[in-house]
Amino acid sequence: MKDFIIPPLDDRDMGTPARTGEAVTLTIDGFEVKVPEGTSVMRAAAEVGISVPKLCASDNLEAFGSCRLCAVEIEGRRGTPASCTTPVAAGMVVDTQSAKVRKLRKGVMELYISDHPLDCLTCSANGDCELQDMAGAVGLRDVRYTAPEGGGLANHFTARDTSGQANPEWLPKDDSNPYFTYDPSKCIVCSRCVRACEEVQGTFALTITGRGFDSRVSAGDSSADFLTSDCVSCGACVQACPTATLQEKSVIEMGTPDRSVVTTCAYCGVGCNFKAEMQGDQVVRMVPYKHGKANRGHSCVKGRFAYGYAKHKDRILNPMIRDTIDQPWREVSWDEALSFAANRMRGLQDTYGKKSVGVITSSRCTNEETYLVQKLTRAVFGNNNTDTCARVCHSPTGYGLGQTFGASAGTQDFDSVEHTDVAIVIGANPTDGHPVFASRLKKRLRAGAKLIVIDPRRIDLVKSAHVEAAHHLPLKPGTNVAVVTALAHVIVTEGLMDEDFIRDRCDWDEFQTYADFVSAPRHSPEAIELLTNVPAAELRAAARTFAAGGNGAIYYGLGVTEHSQGSTTVMAIANLAMLTGNIGRKGVGVNPLRGQNNVQGSCDMGSFPHELPGYRHVKNTDVRDVFKEAWGVEIDPEPGLRIPNMLDAAVDGTFKGLYCQGEDILQSDPDTKHVAAGLAAMECVIVHDLFLNETANYAHVFLPGSTFLEKDGTFTNAERRINRVRRVMAPRNGYADWEVTQLLANAMGAEWAYTHPSQIMDEIAATTPSFAGVDYALLEEKGSVQWPCNEDRPEGTPLMHVDGFVRGKGRFIVTEYVATDEKTGPRFPLLLTTGRILSQYNVGAQTRRTDNVVWHEEDLLEIHPHDAENRGLKDGDWVRLASRSGETTLRATVTDKVSPGVVYTTFHHPDTQANVITTDYSDWATNCPEYKVTAVQVGASNGPTDWQEDYAEQAARARRILPAAE
Amino acid sequence: MKVYVPMDSAAKALGADDVMEALIKAAAESGQTVEIIRTGTRGMIWLEPLVEVETGGVRLGFGPAIPEDAATILDGTNAKALGPVDELDWMKRQTRLTFARVGVIDPLSLDDYRAHGGLSGLRRALGLTGQEIVDEVKASGLRGRGGAGFPTGIKWQTVHDAGAPQKYIVCNADEGDSGTFADRMIMEGDPFTLIEGMTIAGLGVGATKGYVYLRSEYPDAIKVMRRAVDIARASGVLGADVLGSGCAFDMEIRVGAGAYVCGEETSLLNSLEGKRGVVRAKPPLPALEGFLGRPTVVNNVISLATVPVIFEKGAQHYADFGLGRSRGTVTLQIAGNVARGGLFETAFGISLGDVVNDLGGGSASGRPVKAVQVGGPLGAYMPVSKFDAALGYEELDAEGGLLGHAGLVVFDDTADMLGMARFAMEFCAVESCGKCTPCRIGAVRGVETIDRIAQGDADALPLLTDLCETMKDGSLCALGGFTPLPVMSAVTHFPGDFARSKEAAE
């Protein structure tokens, strides 16, 4: 019971998880109740509003039966069974309030309190403590246990006894974790934290050590503290703790919150809902929202704790301008900054033509903001020069799934995983990149589902606590198409495909062509073994497991898309799903794990240069007419420039001005030197961001941005789920991002007059068929909806392609493997692939400005012991990492997680600039960069490269800010 | 000449190995050809080491033997001669069904085992369906000998009826109760009977795999059981083709790590799975979701070791013994301050007084008997006034007692019952798994509260009574739930030991 919160919805804890099954009728305290078979007596009681006292039960954990407070009496049964562990039975007559159980509860509470410090008034859980609540609920008025003379009363909360002797049962507080503390003296050993770590998060970092009175919660063995343990700081234990034992440091410092607002996390594409718990406009803590449909009450270290960047000192709160990038910044008023920017952009267009300027929309900003930015270029600049960071991550997903299925998005919701029997995870590392989804997948794996991992690295899912992949195919980077096509080869040649599904749902002629293609011996596992390094027998076994294993779901990430054949792999995956009939129901599907919170939304909103909102090509007159009608301007029928084209054009001198909202292309895009050259060649770069990011080093105008806490809007997650983002505090910079874009547009002569993002959503709905039914009222009512949401599907679409593919018949597309031009050789014998780590996010602009840095202070290069030995490298050595594009230095970590011949690093830190190394190769269809394959050499080094030193110097110079003019 | 020397660990503790060596030496010196056969114990611990010499087909006993007796035992002149062992009063008065072979045969000789009726129960079971096997056990009236007394056949029926790709038979050999040793004796003295019983259980319920969870404190039993399993497997008793029937059953011996609470079946299953030995809430019953979540029969050693004789002689033969709802025989373990301690198997129904005074011969110290704790550390202290109570599950329960695993520990009049009550709480505090609050905190508070009673604190006794009620009604398993039984029986029957005044304490 969290009595200080006014819940927006009923988020009472029902005690035990919901069940499904035949209805059973029973009587509790004279009230008749009908619940599904398998429901606990406790939950059944809660259904009729009767709260049986409890401490160890929670409805996100299986019943445990340890606290014994929830005892009830049942007619015809002996004793006082625990209501949490007793399932209902038809006709059962339960008494939750008999004199016997009332006395028992009081007796148990008396024992609890006899081992608990009575410092409630100064306790950090004061007002938020279930132990306190239960002591009240059972009417405990006296604790009669006292010490015998000459002896002590055994307890865990006094450091020393009355004679000054140290109490061996007392343990000091562990505050090693930056976000929460573990105070053993407050612990009631209910095991909720341990169970949450196991059942919800699936990390198994916590345990109970000792037995009897010595039972203690412990993060691993007794020598480990929380920080050095396996704990991933997801917060599930803190949330589960009924007392002050595991407590957010922010609550300890600030006190209990007085209100809460449900909003959506601004990190990865899982799109977790959180309750921002507030005091006034101060966030006390972020708590995962129980009714969040993507996260179902779970969270990771980023969403749960890493929101402090909003108040970081580096945050820029005032607009700034400068004439040239070698000058220091000058803080100016919004008016001055906007007119400076507007004049420059208009001037550039006057001089160099209408198409000499463009925009980059942000996958971190809201749908409404993204919509306005592309509207800015289309309606105000008068061209289609808009692109987004999806270009560098999931553009092949949009293309590949659009071609095969007819819709550029994942087919499922996250709940679907609960029905999966065999999952393929390819080119994704969910435990780090999409942790909350990973926890949901691991839960299903622990329940018996099988897992096939296709990844060059031995990611944690391959083998971790109580999870082990049935097959791991450690392919050579760049050979996805060969491997996935070989899986299809096995399925087709061994007759394992779902012919009924194919005949019914797909184009049979195209399938015939495809089947002929894929059956060719050159696609057999044996034929590609040398090329991919994947043992043929293992690949065959994996194919059989997937084809014959029941509901098969494929989850993939940027390890699929960020390749020269990224789009081809997406299509190969789609083929595999159609081949095995794994589309159109729960538990199956093709599921791209989106990198950023709103990358799906930014694509939906028309961020691409060739597509208007809703993936409709600009060449189509009817589509342009819709927007002409709405915006009152002609839409350019020619597609605009993609990001790489903008940069090329800038170097060529034809592209001169850029408005870049919420993206750091200099750090995140490939071939940093080329990006830098392109930016340097522009005459007006407007960066709209929270911080002076790397791109801002080349900017002339800096417009301060707002965080997700400071604005209203919507994010669309990887499930196509449109989630509400709600303003919990005023923008520290003065304006929400949509307001800034509107101000800029109006400074350039537009006459936009939006007063709330809901009006922007109304415009989106009016112009975009898949959003036709969406408005803020519906989102308030439903919490969230998944597009398409329109007349046909007024409540949205959890599963796509249920009765037929969006495009009609599913289309098999031939997927010939073509090796990337990026090849290893004597100069660059190793393959570099890149990825993400749990505690950091993308370029790290946010997470590096939080305490998450304790887990990842710098990017490290993973290298196999053989390769390290050959080069005389040891763990922790500085190494030089070089490709034909450039070189950088970082420290090495020697691990067999990577195969020999493969090295791996993250790109979270600008000091490393991993993208100095990556090349300009890209996906043939979408230009998505080939981040995941770069031929490199690694050698010993003394420290930073010249490039890094030059860069650091330039960055420092570019970030100078003059004091504001008085 | 055949000479039998027990290798039971109780006999060994009393010097059986030294006696055997002396016998070998004496035989060599006197030039006699002596075949020494190691056996289990006959259960008369006060006579151990009990050497038996076979003469004309009759086994003559000598004991308690010491090495110096060797030569005279061999020449038949030893003054400790007891005559034919089978004719001893202790032996004649027993109904040895479960323990028929213990002390008689070489525990690791499968031939010996067969020659004494072994495997005939299994052969009969192989001709029956699973349901017929379960029905036979039901008809025998066999109840769980571990202490709870739950009808074995009904438990088997649940497992039999559960549909699952794999089922298990788990033998609870974590015999941790003080004053009990029947499980150990039968595992050391007749291991094949346990193997046979588990195999029949497997056939009955459809389980193909068995585990014996054996406490680490029984190194001899572990050794014997492991060897016996190897022999049984090598001889085709265990394995993919049990006695050529085409039915599969195999088993393993797993060793515990010293926690009393792992004798509780759900903790045992957790421990067997490699997890912390904490109690699981029931439901789900182990019969439906037991070892690794599969339907599992968890039975005590004696329950399973009694199964072969039921099939050998028929359920009715077994059921004909006993009293009320307690059918068959009880394997009494008589220990503590008692003149004649040991194992005594007899039909249910014998009175407590007969066991203590007649069989046991009163206290070893010669002082008057004050109390008997029946059923292990969680059993009640029975005063002499209750000695008419008949030993049967319901009969003893009616007198406020608990038959449990049928261990009896005798105390003379010097015993301080407040101290014994404190010990019961302390035992619970030491052995608690720590999962449920009444046991985890309650046992510690119990010790402190009894200390307050000892100091003459008048508030403490009502508090102890309340605490015992909380523990009894609130605990998750029998450890916390039954600890109040010895405590409150001591308080109830020996109030004088708790009536301390402040002055007296000081």
The two structure tokens encoding residue B169: 């038979």
Is the pLDDT at A632 greater than 70? The verdict is yes
pLDDT given for residue A885 in this prediction: 84
Are B434 and A86 inside 8 Å of each other by CB?
Answer: no
DSSP string over B189-213: H-HHHHHHHHHHHHHHHT--EEEEE
- The residues facing A902 across adjacent strands are A831
Per-residue pLDDT, averaged over A45-63, amounts to: 95
Are A68 and B459 inside 8 Å of each other by CB?
Answer: no
Q: Which residue has the tokens 């929270």?
A: A690
Backbone angles phi, psi at A505, to 5 degrees: -110, -20
CATH of B417-505, one of 1.20.1440.230, 3.30.565.10, 3.40.50.11690, 1.20.1090.10: 1.20.1440.230
Distance from C-alpha of A113 to C-alpha of A194, rounded to nearest angstrom: 22
pLDDT given for residue A820 in this prediction: 85
Q: Cβ distance A713 to A738 under 8 Å?
A: yes
Distance from C-alpha of B296 to C-alpha of A570, rounded to nearest angstrom: 47
From the list B282, B433, B474, which residue is nearest A108 (CB)? B474
Are A153 and B448 inside 8 Å of each other by CB?
Answer: yes
- Listing from the earlier edge strand, what are the strands of the sheet with A721-725? A713-716, A721-725, A784-786
Q: How far is A461 from chain B (nearest CA, A)?
A: 22
Q: Cβ distance B228 to B108 under 8 Å?
A: yes
The confidence band for A845, taking pLDDT boundaries of 50, 70 and 90, is confident
User: What ipTM was reported for this prediction?
Assistant: 0.94
Backbone angles phi, psi at B95, to 5 degrees: -115, 95
Q: How far is A131 from chain B (nearest CA, A)?
A: 13
Intervals of CATH 3.40.30.10 along chain B: 2-88
Tell me which chain A residues have a C-beta less than 8 angstroms from the C-beta of B467: 107, 111
Are B441 and A213 inside 8 Å of each other by CB?
Answer: yes
How many beta-carbon contacts under 8 Å exist across A and B? 120
Q: How far is B95 from chain A (nearest CA, A)?
A: 35
Q: Is A926 on the interface with B (CB under 8 A)?
A: no
From the list A68, A86, A114, which residue is nearest B436 (CB)? A68
Instruction: Give the best residue of B292, B448, B468 to mutate against chain A (max A CB count within 10 A).
Output: B448
Of A240-249, A852-861, B78-87, B301-310, the one with minimum mean pLDDT is: A852-861
Residue A693 vs residues A597, A896, B209: alpha-carbon distances, Å: 19, 34, 64
Q: Which residue has the tokens 């799906």?
A: A600
Per-residue pLDDT, averaged over A433-458, amounts to: 95
| Residue among A642, A799, A775, A781 nearest A714 (CA) | A775
The two structure tokens encoding residue B285: 């019953």
Are B282 and A85 inside 8 Å of each other by CB?
Answer: yes
What is the number of residues in chain B?
A: 506
The two structure tokens encoding residue A12: 């009472």
Are A211 and B434 inside 8 Å of each other by CB?
Answer: yes
pLDDT one-digit tens code per residue, B99-111: 999 999 999 999 9
Tell me which chain B residues have a C-beta less than 8 angstroms from the C-beta of A115: 441
DSSP string over B395-423: HHHHTT---TT-EEEEEETT--HHHHHHH
pLDDT given for residue A8 in this prediction: 47
Q: Find the residue in B nearest to A64 (Cα).
A: B281
pLDDT given for residue A532 in this prediction: 93
Give me the domains of chain A, ranges plus CATH numbers.
1-97 (3.10.20.740), 180-311 (3.30.70.20), 320-389+599-750 (3.40.50.740), 395-588 (3.40.228.10), 830-958 (2.40.40.20)
Are A107 and B469 inside 8 Å of each other by CB?
Answer: yes
DSSP letter at B151?
B
Q: How far is A112 from chain B (nearest CA, A)?
A: 7
How many whole angstroms from its chain centre is CA A507?
A: 35
Intervals of CATH 3.40.50.11540 along chain B: 110-319
Is the pLDDT at A6 greater than 50? The verdict is no
Q: How many CB atoms lie within 10 A of CB A857?
A: 11
Is the pLDDT at A453 greater than 80? The verdict is yes
Per-residue burial over A63-77, b = 16 or more CB atoms within 10 Å of its CB, e = otherwise: bbbbbbbbbbbbeee
Are A211 and B473 inside 8 Å of each other by CB?
Answer: no
Tell me which chain A residues have a C-beta less than 8 angstroms from the C-beta of B483: none
Q: Cβ distance B332 to B408 under 8 Å?
A: yes
Q: How far is B497 from chain A (nearest CA, A)?
A: 18
Intervals of CATH 3.10.20.600 along chain B: 322-412
Q: Is A144 on the interface with B (CB under 8 A)?
A: yes
Measured over the CA atoms of residue A441, residue A447, residue A453 and residue A459, the dihedral's sign is: positive
CATH of B322-412, one of 1.10.10.10, 3.10.20.600, 3.40.50.20, 3.30.470.10: 3.10.20.600
Are A212 and B432 inside 8 Å of each other by CB?
Answer: yes
The percent of residues in chain A predicted with pLDDT above 70, rounded, is 99
- Give the E-state strand segments of A613-712 in sequence order: 616-617, 657-661, 684-689, 701-704
pLDDT given for residue A4 in this prediction: 37
Are A107 and B438 inside 8 Å of each other by CB?
Answer: yes
Annotation: CATH topology of B2-88: Glutaredoxin (3.40.30)
Cis, bond preceding A521 (omega within 30 deg of 0) = no
Distance from C-alpha of A793 to C-alpha of A796, rounded to nearest angstrom: 5
Q: Is A147 on the interface with B (CB under 8 A)?
A: yes
pLDDT given for residue A9 in this prediction: 54
Tell me which chain A residues have a C-beta less than 8 angstroms from the C-beta of B455: 148-149
Intervals of CATH 1.20.1440.230 along chain B: 417-505
Distance from C-alpha of A91 to C-alpha of A95, rounded to nearest angstrom: 13
Q: Cβ distance A856 to A850 under 8 Å?
A: no
Q: Cβ-count burial of B430 within 10 angstroms (0-12 exposed, 13-18 middle, 19+ buried)?
A: middle
- Domain B110-319, architecture per CATH: 3-Layer(aba) Sandwich (3.40)
pLDDT given for residue A525 in this prediction: 96
Distance from C-alpha of B446 to C-alpha of A118, rounded to nearest angstrom: 21
pLDDT given for residue A965 in this prediction: 54
Is the pLDDT at A2 greater than 50? The verdict is no
A10: alpha, beta or left, given left = phi > 0 and alpha = psi -120 to 50? beta
Are A65 and B281 inside 8 Å of each other by CB?
Answer: yes
The confidence band for A959, taking pLDDT boundaries of 50, 70 and 90, is confident
Q: How far is A187 from chain B (nearest CA, A)?
A: 12
Beta pairing, strands A386-388 & A357-361: parallel
The two structure tokens encoding residue B112: 């010996």
Q: Cβ distance A575 to A813 under 8 Å?
A: yes
Are B448 and A67 inside 8 Å of each other by CB?
Answer: no
The confidence band for A542, taking pLDDT boundaries of 50, 70 and 90, is very high
pLDDT one-digit tens code per residue, A922-954: 888 888 888 888 899 999 988 787 878 888 888
Q: How many CB atoms lie within 10 A of CB A228?
A: 11
Q: Which residues neighbour A934 within 8 Å (Cβ) at sequence distance 6 or greater? A: A822, A831, A832, A833, A883, A885, A917, A918, A919
Per-residue pLDDT, averaged over A647-663, amounts to: 94
Q: Is A466 on the interface with B (CB under 8 A)?
A: no
Residue A254 vs residues A133, A234, A236: alpha-carbon distances, Å: 21, 21, 21
**Which segments of chain B have a pLDDT < 70?**
502-506
Q: How many CB atoms lie within 10 A of CB A201?
A: 26
Per-residue pLDDT, averaged over A696-715, amounts to: 95
Per-residue pLDDT, averaged over A790-814, amounts to: 90
Per the confidence metrics, is the pTM higher than 0.90? yes
Distance from C-alpha of B269 to C-alpha of B273, rounded to nearest angstrom: 6
Q: Is A465 on the interface with B (CB under 8 A)?
A: no
Round to the nearest angstrom and report the end-to-end CA distance of chain B.
66
Q: Find the residue in A nearest to B442 (Cα).
A: A111
pLDDT given for residue A666 in this prediction: 87
pLDDT one-digit tens code per residue, A321-373: 999 999 999 999 999 999 999 999 999 999 999 999 999 999 999 999 999 99
